[in-house]
Amino acid sequence: MTNRPLIAVPARFAASTSALRYAAEVSARALIEAVWRAGGEPLALHPHAPGGTADPAEVAARLAGFDGLLLPGGGDLAPYRYGAADTHTSVYDVDDEQDAFDLELARRALETGTPLLAVCRGLQAVNVALGGTLHQDMGGPDTEHRHLVHPVALRPGSLVEAAVGAPKADVSCYHHQRVDRTGSGLEVTARAADGTAEALELPGAKGWFTAVQWHPEDTAHQDPAQQGLFDAFVRAAARHR
C-alpha cells in the first residue's frame, strides 16, 4: 500500500497510439511525472458517461477513493455544453462521454472539497461546470496561445501565486479557446497581457482548488515555479487524505 496521496487523473481517449492495435486511453507523461515528483501516486480514471450523461452518484463514489483530482488538458468541450447554438470550425476532438465525465468530476470535487488542480481544458471544464462560457476561438494563429511561452501576472494572495512563489511567471500555453463569462463564484487570479484569463479560483471553496489555462507540466521538470503548482496540490491532497 502506497503512502503517497492518490491522485485521480481522468484518461483521455485516443484514436490510436504507438505499439497498441486499438483505440486507447492515455495520460500525458509529463503531467504524470510532475505529480510523481510532487509525491503523489497518479492513477488513471476511466471516463464513464454512456450517451454523454454521467451518473452523479457513480462519479461521487469513484472519486471518494482518491485524495485529489487533476483535470488535464485535451480536446475542446462541445459548445452546446455552455449554451452555444453554433460550433466554430476550429473546434476539435469533441467527445461527449469525455465532456460529461469531466464536468461531473469537477462538480463533485468542488462539492466534496476534494483538492483539485485543473489544467487547460480542465480549467475550461470547471468554468463550464459552474455555468460559465467560453470563446470558441481566440481569433486564429495571430491571437491564439498555441506553442507559446508568455508572461502572466498572478493576483497577490491567490493560491496560484502562493504555489508559484512569485507575482509573475513565464508559462507554456497551448490553447485556442479561453474563458468568456466566468462560472458562478469563480474569480480570475492570473491574466496574460492580452487580457486572457490564465487562472481561476473559487473563494470560499471547501477544499484546495486552482485552475490554470497554461500547461505547467511542460516546464515543471526544469522550472521550480511550475513544479510548485503540483507540489502545492499534492500537499493539499495529503492533508485531505
**To which residue does cell 501576472 refer?**
153
C-alpha distances in Å from residue 216, one per residue of 136, 157, 221, 225: 22, 20, 9, 9
Catalytic, out of 104, 120, 145, 175: 120
Catalytic, out of 33, 41, 215, 221: 215
For 171, phi and psi rounded to 5 degrees?
-125, 150
Q: What is the DSSP letter of 110?
A: H
Residues 136, 56, 64, 205, Cα dihedral to 10°: 50
Query: Using CB atoms within 10 A of its CB, is residue 60 exposed (0-12), middle (13-18) or buried (19+)?
Result: middle
Q: What is the DSSP letter of 20?
A: -
Q: Output the nine-digit C-alpha cell for 134.
A: 467560453
**To which residue does cell 487523473 refer?**
9
SS3 labels along 130-172: CCCCEECCCCCCCCCEEEEEEEEEECCCCHHHHHHCCCEEEEE
Catalytic, out of 25, 46, 217, 240: 217
Please confirm, yes or no, whether 120 is among the known catalytic residues: yes
Please confirm, yes or no, whether 215 is among the known catalytic residues: yes
Q: Which residues are catalytic?
A: 120, 215, 217
